[in-house]
Structure 1
Amino acid sequence: MSRPTEHPGPDGSVTEPVIALRGVTAELGSRTVLRGVDLTVRRGEVVALLGVNGSGKSTAVRTVIGQVPVTAGEVELFGTPRRRFRDWRRVGYVPQRTTAAGGVPATVTEVVCAGRLSRTRFGVLRRADRDAVRHALELVGMADRARDSVDALSGGQHQRVLIARALAAEPELLLMDEPMAGVDLASQEALAETLRGQIERGVTVLLVLHELGPLEPLIDRAVVLRDGRVVHDGPPPRAADRHALPGHDHAYDHVHPHAPAGAGAEIRTGLLS
């Protein structure tokens, strides 16, 4: 099996991948969604997964955290085969936007606290945990809504809460599935600024996008999928060049709303829908 192309990190050095997919094939039901995908993400990199709807972007991210089983190939996290990986506090996951509490009445703080559970003993929050939750809410500009019900939030505010929930664990790796979908420009810019702060802290980021938008200056590499295969892996394509990429369609130029992700999608990483 061939290994993925090794890409130097932002400082030019080649380090052990934080994420490594090697010849990964994955199925949803009876449909093959990923077909021999090779992908590496190294420490400190910011990598965007691009492609049209159905190309396998979200499945690739969900394969990383074990929500979608691998039928061939291998997945590693921090140098450990995913099937043996247990240190999920190192991973923050932001799913496609859905109701932040999964239909259960909850306050903003209660939802964000769920992201801290992977760092607690027996689910008991200590002062350091509550401080981390408050800090996460401050990072996304939602501290003033901490006691509000998530049902009272706008779409952009929902997304900020989901991001705060992931940041509360103080992860080394941040996985984000369509964080900008259905979010207005002002919220996109606010989320980009939040992400910039995490990148400056050294967090590694893999995110699914339909368009680069305000995140474009932060992206180190773009990986384009088509029909479950990698057709481009390199510098982010300029807007003028994207139509020349294999698998391009107008989906790269517009933000598309998505159906809600299934309930319980984040349980694998210790996060609650």
Structure 2
Amino acid sequence: MSSVIPDTVPTGSAPSRHPLPAGAAPAAVSLRDAVASLEGRPVLRGIDLVVRPGEVVALLGANGSGKSTTVKTVIGSVPLERGGLELFGTPYARFKEWHRIGYVPQRTTAAGGVPATVREVVSTGRLPQHRLLPFRRKDREAVDRALDAVGMLDRAEDGVANLSGGQHQRVLIARALVGTPDLLIMDEPMAGVDMASQQILADTLRREVERGAAVLLVLHELGPLEPLIDRAVVLRDGCVSHDGPPPKEVGQHALPGHDHVHPHSDDDHPNNTPRLLA
């Protein structure tokens, strides 16, 4: 992937509630003129996307508009055919600090069918910092803090196979949080989870933003997260149709091109394995 031009706000975008002074840290994500395809089918047709530290950006759009492909491009599991990507000011090809990014994938179980406890699954979120080194006391403490943040510390030794859908999602969020990421990416984090889990997610994201993390969310509806959203980037047919305040009526029915079908995946590729979890 090629480098991108210096950080500027895409045309038509709205200022963040967290404006950065001159000389401040670079954007967590700077995606420029991004073009990408899945199995030969064009999905992204020139996406511009900027996410700054301390900012919460929601990706919205009808089914098949390119939301999931956009985040998979950011984490490297879908390559760009054209355009550029920088993460924390570093061109993607030279970026090595993957521990700075926490990723919650779409529609999956916490252990992917492998028998494991809640603690074991969340502990894998520390691997980018260790590789083959043994875990230390501070790693165990980090796991406990992440589980406590999502209300799952009391289930730490339980098997993930015994959890509800909302509890699975909380475990995946804890796994993303355990490395104290500077950028948190979540693909449909509220799909199929109960209201209690949605509120826990909202409270967790609020704390992450308060410490300065950037957040990029693919959402079907804003729900309890609406007060946290700084900008909404609405995609249509692989292009940005809106970048600014969230539309007054948000949800798939309110977005252009909605087909009144609510699958959990709009553009998943069966062979995509996020680099962060490799």
Give the structure-2-normalised TM-score: 0.88
Aligned mates of 2:75, 2:182 — CA distance in 1: 14
Deviations 1:186-237 (A, max 9, x none): 2111211111111111110001001001100000000000111000000111
Give the equivalent residue in structure 2 for 1:265: 273
Structure 1 spans left out of the alignment, 5+ residues: none
Q: 1:140 aligns with which of 147, 150, 162?
A: 150
How far apart are 1:13 and its partner, in Å?
A: 2.7
Deviations 1:103-122 (A, max 9, x none): 11111001000001112252
SS of equivalent to 2:122: helix
Give the equivalent residue in structure 2 for 1:100: 110
Q: 1:13 aligns with which of 7, 20, 25?
A: 20
SS of equivalent to 1:10: coil
How far apart are 1:123 and its partner, in Å?
A: 3.7
Asked if 2 retains the 8 angstrom alpha-carbon contact of 1:55 and 1:228, the reply is yes
In the TM superposition, what are the counterparts of 1:110-259 in structure 2 within 5 Å?
110-120=120-130, 122-239=132-249, 247=256, 249=258, 257-258=264-265
Aligned mates of 1:50, 1:36 — CA distance in 2: 16
How far apart are 1:124 and its partner, in Å?
A: 1.7
Q: Letter of the aligned partner of 2:20 in structure 1?
A: S
Which structure has the higher relative contact order (CA within 8 Å, separation 6+)? Answer: 2
Deviations 1:113-156 (A, max 9, x none): 00011122524211111110110000000001100111100000
More displaced stretch, 163-172 vs 234-243: 234-243
How far apart are 1:70 and its partner, in Å?
A: 0.3
Structure 2 spans left out of the alignment, 5+ residues: none
Cα root mean square deviation, aligned: 2.5
SS of equivalent to 2:28: strand
Asked if 2 retains the 8 angstrom alpha-carbon contact of 1:45 and 1:220, the reply is yes
How far apart are 1:243 and its partner, in Å?
A: 7.1
SS of equivalent to 1:223: strand
CA, structure 1 residues 237+264, in 2 after alignment: closer, same or farther (shift >3 Å)?
closer
CA, structure 1 residues 31+145, in 2 after alignment: closer, same or farther (shift >3 Å)?
same
How far apart are 1:248 and its partner, in Å?
A: 5.3
Give the structure-1-normalised TM-score: 0.90
CA, structure 1 residues 153+74, in 2 after alignment: closer, same or farther (shift >3 Å)?
same
Number of aligned positions between the proteins: 267
Give the equivalent residue in structure 1 for 2:79: 69
SS of equivalent to 1:137: helix
Q: Letter of the aligned partner of 1:222 in structure 2?
A: A
Deviations 1:12-50 (A, max 9, x none): 335521101110000111101100111111111100000
Identity of aligned residues (%): 61
Aligned mates of 1:240, 1:258 — CA distance in 2: 18
